[in-house]
Structure 1
Amino acid sequence: MTRFTRLPLSTGVTLNVAEAGRADGPALLFLHGFPESHRTWRGLVPLLEDRYRLIMPDQRGFGGSDTPQDPADYSTDKLVADLFALVDHLGLDDFTLVGHDWGGAVSWAAALRGDPRLKRLVIVNAPHPFVFQKSLIEDADQRAASQYITAFRDPGFEQAVEAMGWDKFFSKSFTPHVDLTAISPQEKADYLAEWSKPGVFTAMLNWYRGAPVTVPPREADVPLPAYLQRPFPAITVPTLVVWGMRDKALLPLQLDGLDSLIDDLTIVRVPDAGHFLPWEKPAAVAAPLRSFLDAHQGS
């Protein structure tokens, strides 16, 4: 049974936090991405709740959590601060961090911080910041696939979605990535209810507007910034990356070069799934996650 609590954090926001599983089990903290909420993990709960404590917040700007309207409130440092404020609030001293999409971006940044309480990292279809920015400059296919970020940053995008209607936006969001029959009518209704709450959709888009990533126009000639030409800090905690290889937004080339950026890396490729792997094929995430945790107990 999933339990919900609204937790006020020291960062000034209140997050809606879902919990399931064993209160005395090893803590797994899950961070979702766009355009979702804690429900990203709905398929994993019955596969993991027998053994683990599952902590699944709606991140700021999403679902039932607070929705600051200033893009500056979605800078990476503030999002990572939310995560560790939640860890403080819950009194965790040993946890595994699991992130998908934007949740993965926060997870990469959190692991780079080196907090000793974060013992293991699991990434699902979320690019490493170094690899992603480099690919946006050097790879034409990834640059083309990421032009939606520029569209989301447009100040008129909310009005464009309201004009097209939530149903059409729902179809445009998911049709390229997953068979819509995989989303039940009730789940669709839940998505639309979350997105259409006052202030929520602008807050969701602010993740893109507040992000430091640069997405050049398709044909622009952009030099590599200096920080991409220097050694990048390594991830030192054991890391599992699970990737749906049919991802059309974050191409499988995001796996290239990870072994030089992570000290202890395991990659699992899922050939018959796309970007929304956690609920499209939850068993394909849960099985390697269990094996990874078994192999790194006490890490």
Structure 2
Amino acid sequence: MADFETRRIALPTGVELNVALAGDPANPPIVLLHGFPESHRTWRHQIAALARDHYVIAPDQRGFGYSARPEGVASYTPDKPVADLLALADHLGIGPFTLVGHDWGGAIAWMAALQNPQRIARLIIVNAPHPLVFQRSIFDDPAQRAASQYITAFRNPDFEQFVERIGLETFFDESFAKYTDAAKLEPEKPAYLAEWSQPGAMTAMLNWYRASAILVPAPGETPERPAWLDAPFPPVTQPTLVIWAMQDTALLPVQLDGLEALVPDLTVVRIAGAGHFVPWEKPELVNEAILEWLA
């Protein structure tokens, strides 16, 4: 386990975030954003490796881990965690920084980089789709549309009742461990269950999906195609590393198709034999890819 301190930081966005910090604040800053259903612990094998030469900042994003869980779906639209990210950087007194994101953290990282090129100097994405590529693939690729139906399930207002009925442990086994390297996950199970068992935790995590504007038609459905899918889209101007675990069953390799046209300064590292949670399924390969690219 990496050596780091955690600090609870109140932000002007109205939330308090639980933040893992490691390394010398005088070193170049790097911010790590986790996704569902995790916390800063997503990066437990990366923090120490990065902290040798960087100031590492890994928050539990709003609604996750031990950070605040504001009420209401509207509290989780993507602009809110982007604002948290920039407010956290301001609070810590850091200027331009490298931003790393996995899963939902990657979605926030793409958005933050597109909107704030003056703050985000470099971008590292780990199994998180570009917003245009993702929405387009859900419309045009039947396999990705089928794989994305979990989003519709998570948006169901009765989903919490379903989890309560089966119990958190069964949810862990059936909806999480089943889709990853269960042996590597098992030692972490108590930490996950402790995070999820806090009052309102499951609703807060699910509200990220409910607040998202991503459209997920049912398989075989033919809804009206959003015009923006075929319109010009602004490029990501930062040097960008995309790490993609090729056995991800939720976000298929089709997410890499056409990415170079949207990200001119792009490096892609494909990792075989790993699924969606590659930061801790294949940590050595993820660390190697990040450190080589940063160097």
TM-score (norm 2): 0.97
Q: Deviations over 1:265-291 (max 9, x none)?
A: 000000111100011111111111111
Contact 1:34-1:204 within 8 A present in 2 as well: yes
Separation in structure 1 between the aligned mates of residue 25 and residue 84 of structure 2, nearest angstrom: 22
Residue 34 of structure 2: which of 32, 35, 41 is its match? 32
Deviation at 1:46, TM superposition (A): 2.9
Contact 1:96-1:122 within 8 A present in 2 as well: yes
Q: Residue type of the partner of 2:218?
A: P
Q: Residue type of the partner of 2:24?
A: R
Separation in structure 2 between the aligned mates of residue 46 and residue 74 of structure 1, nearest angstrom: 30
Q: Deviations over 1:100-121 (max 9, x none)?
A: 0000000000011034121000
Contact 1:100-1:125 within 8 A present in 2 as well: yes
Contact 2:244-2:271 within 8 A present in 1 as well: yes
Contact 1:69-1:206 within 8 A present in 2 as well: no
Does 2:237 correspond to 1:233? no
Residue in 1 aligned with 2:255? 254
Contact 2:71-2:204 within 8 A present in 1 as well: yes
- Root-mean-square deviation (CA, aligned residues, Å) is 1.1
Separation in structure 2 between the aligned mates of residue 277 and residue 238 of structure 1, nearest angstrom: 22
Aligned structure 1 segments of 4 or more residues deviating by more than 3 angstroms: none
For these two proteins, the number of residue pairs brought into alignment is 293
Deviation at 1:222, TM superposition (A): 2.4
Q: Deviations over 1:57-82 (max 9, x none)?
A: 00000011010120111111112111
Does 2:79 correspond to 1:82? no
Contact 2:177-2:185 within 8 A present in 1 as well: no
Q: Deviations over 1:226-268 (max 9, x none)?
A: 1111110100000000000000000011000000001200000
Separation in structure 2 between the aligned mates of residue 158 and residue 205 of structure 1, nearest angstrom: 9
Unmatched 5+ residue regions in structure 2?
Answer: none
Q: Deviations over 1:166-191 (max 9, x none)?
A: 11111123334322111243x10000
Contact 1:30-1:55 within 8 A present in 2 as well: yes
1:54 partner SS: strand
Separation in structure 2 between the aligned mates of residue 83 and residue 115 of structure 1, nearest angstrom: 14
Residue in 2 aligned with 1:117? 119
Does 2:224 correspond to 1:223? yes
Deviation at 1:21, TM superposition (A): 2.2
Residue in 2 aligned with 1:264? 265
Residue in 1 aligned with 2:99? 97
Contact 1:176-1:248 within 8 A present in 2 as well: no
2:179 partner SS: coil
Deviation at 1:224, TM superposition (A): 2.3
Instruction: Give % identity.
Output: 56
Q: Residue type of the partner of 2:83?
A: A
Is 45-54 or 110-119 further displaced after alignment?
45-54
Q: Residue type of the partner of 2:8?
A: R
Does 2:86 correspond to 1:70? no
Q: Pairwise mapping of residues 1-299 of structure 1 onto structure 2 (< 5 A)?
A: 1-185=3-187, 187-294=188-295
Q: Residue type of the partner of 1:218?
A: P
